[in-house]
Structure 1
């Protein structure tokens, strides 16, 4: 296992990875509109070989495996063993007649993939590389001639209400937050396409397109469930992680109250914005 991205590996194999694995169903439900967009034009055909980058608990790998059928093959790569364990269990239970899936604990930025894939896909898994240029060059080498790259990455934080609404509410509880370093791993790393396109071009991808995707994201069926979602997964969770438990409880109460005031007792649907990026070799 590579140590190039050790901080991310430690993060996703510790408490955070275990938490995301335990609550993967809520995450898959929230991301469902984006998952639909990712696969809508992916053109996966029976027999195709697919590389799923940052596969998490396996939702996208399972969809790909069903699309390419038993004559195809899927390699699902992720840094997180807790998430991969869920994926393996789900594949045995949910997709016995789909393509075989190889569940691979690997860092896609330097793993020696066989150059055999027709497609490389990712749902919000490409923003956390330590070295993005090396990562996309390595992914390019894993694709056959004419192979296709297709992935989702978040646009700016300001465009993502599912983050900003709760974040703005809890910031007064926290000491001054240091802004992220430009180009550092993080969810909004590729918010501006002009930071991403040169990297893809240098890696050897052609006909690169960045399509804006805007959807409402259901972060919870109730204000309580929605508050738990944003406080324990994603950018707000990173702000609250390792804080005093009393502060965390206060933050959760504030977010719940905010959602209740806005949505009553019903579902909480918040605006979310990302790029759907595509290209080919």
Structure 2
């Protein structure tokens, strides 16, 4: 296993990875509007060989396997063994008649995939590389001639109400929070498209296209479920990770009350904004 991304590997194989594995259904539901557009753009052909980068608990790998069918093949790669374990279990139950899926614990920065894929895709899995140029160059080498890359990444935090609204409720409870370091691995690594485009060019991709995508994202069917989502997954969870239990409980209550004021007792949907990138070898 590569040591290039050791911090991320430790993060996703510890308590965080376990938590995301337990709550994978809520994540799939929240990301569903973006997933639909990702696969519309990818337009996977029957029989295609697909690499799913940062596959998580397997939602996108399972969709890819169904689309390419028995004659295709999917390699689902992730750093997190807890999430891969969920993916393997789901594939046994949810993918009859679909392509075979290889579940691979691997770092896309330097794993020797071989030049065998027609398409590489990722749903919010490419922003955490320690060395993005090395990672995308390695992904390009994994693609056969004429192969394609399609991925989603978040736009700026300020454009994502699903982060900003609960974050505003939590910040008064915390010590001063340092802003994210520009260019550091994290969910908003490619918030500006002029960050990702030269990296993709340096990695050898061409015909690079980037389009903004805005959707409402459902964090939960009730304020309580949505507040749990906000405080246990994503950027707010990172802020609260090192806090004591009293602060975490106060944050959960504050966000729950805020959502209840805005949405009553029903579903909580907030604006979400990302980039949809595509490129060719």
Alpha-carbon deviation of 1:202? Answer: 1.0
Q: Which residue of 1 aligns with 2:32?
A: 32
Alpha-carbon deviation of 1:216? Answer: 0.1
Alpha-carbon deviation of 1:45? Answer: 0.9
Q: Which residue of 2 aligns with 1:246?
A: 246
Separation (CA, whole Å) in 1 of partners of 2:131 and 2:166: 30
Separation (CA, whole Å) in 1 of partners of 2:142 and 2:7: 24
Q: Which residue of 2 aligns with 1:275?
A: 275
The 8 Å contact of residues 115 and 142 in structure 2, kept in 1 or not, is answered as yes
Q: Which residue of 2 aligns with 1:143?
A: 143
Alpha-carbon deviation of 1:181? Answer: 1.6
Q: TM-score, normalised by structure 2?
A: 0.99
Alpha-carbon deviation of 1:204? Answer: 1.1
Q: Which residue of 2 aligns with 1:163?
A: 163
Q: TM-score, normalised by structure 1?
A: 0.99
1:206 aligns with 2:206: yes
Q: Which runs of 4+ in 1 moved over 4 A?
A: none
Q: Which residue of 1 aligns with 2:183?
A: 183
Number of residue pairs aligned between Structure 1 and Structure 2: 281
The 8 Å contact of residues 2 and 111 in structure 2, kept in 1 or not, is answered as yes
Alpha-carbon deviation of 1:211? Answer: 0.7
Bigger Cα displacement from structure 2, 203-212 vs 117-126: 203-212
The 8 Å contact of residues 73 and 99 in structure 2, kept in 1 or not, is answered as yes
Alpha-carbon deviation of 1:57? Answer: 0.1
Per-residue CA distance 1:4-40 (angstroms, 9 max, x = gap): 1000000000000000000000000000000001001
Q: Which residue of 2 aligns with 1:216?
A: 216
Bigger Cα displacement from structure 2, 167-176 vs 74-83: 167-176
Alpha-carbon deviation of 1:231? Answer: 0.5
Alpha-carbon deviation of 1:242? Answer: 2.1
Per-residue CA distance 1:66-115 (angstroms, 9 max, x = gap): 00000000000000000000000000000021000000000001101111
Which SS does the other structure have where 1:251 is aligned?
Answer: helix
Separation (CA, whole Å) in 2 of partners of 1:86 and 1:275: 27
Bigger Cα displacement from structure 2, 250-259 vs 199-208: 199-208
Which SS does the other structure have where 2:162 is aligned?
Answer: helix
Which SS does the other structure have where 1:236 is aligned?
Answer: helix
Separation (CA, whole Å) in 1 of partners of 2:28 and 2:180: 27
Alpha-carbon deviation of 1:177? Answer: 1.0
Q: Which residue of 1 aligns with 2:125?
A: 125
Alpha-carbon deviation of 1:174? Answer: 0.6
Per-residue CA distance 1:190-226 (angstroms, 9 max, x = gap): 0001111000011111110111000000000000000
Unpaired segments ≥5 residues, structure 2: none
Which SS does the other structure have where 2:42 is aligned?
Answer: coil
Q: Which residue of 1 aligns with 2:92?
A: 92
The 8 Å contact of residues 122 and 150 in structure 2, kept in 1 or not, is answered as yes
Which SS does the other structure have where 1:41 is aligned?
Answer: helix
Which SS does the other structure have where 1:89 is aligned?
Answer: helix
Alpha-carbon deviation of 1:250? Answer: 0.3
Separation (CA, whole Å) in 2 of partners of 1:32 and 1:222: 18
Alpha-carbon deviation of 1:43? Answer: 1.8
Q: Which residue of 2 aligns with 1:70?
A: 70
1:51 aligns with 2:75: no
Q: Which residue of 2 aligns with 1:108?
A: 108
Which SS does the other structure have where 1:272 is aligned?
Answer: strand
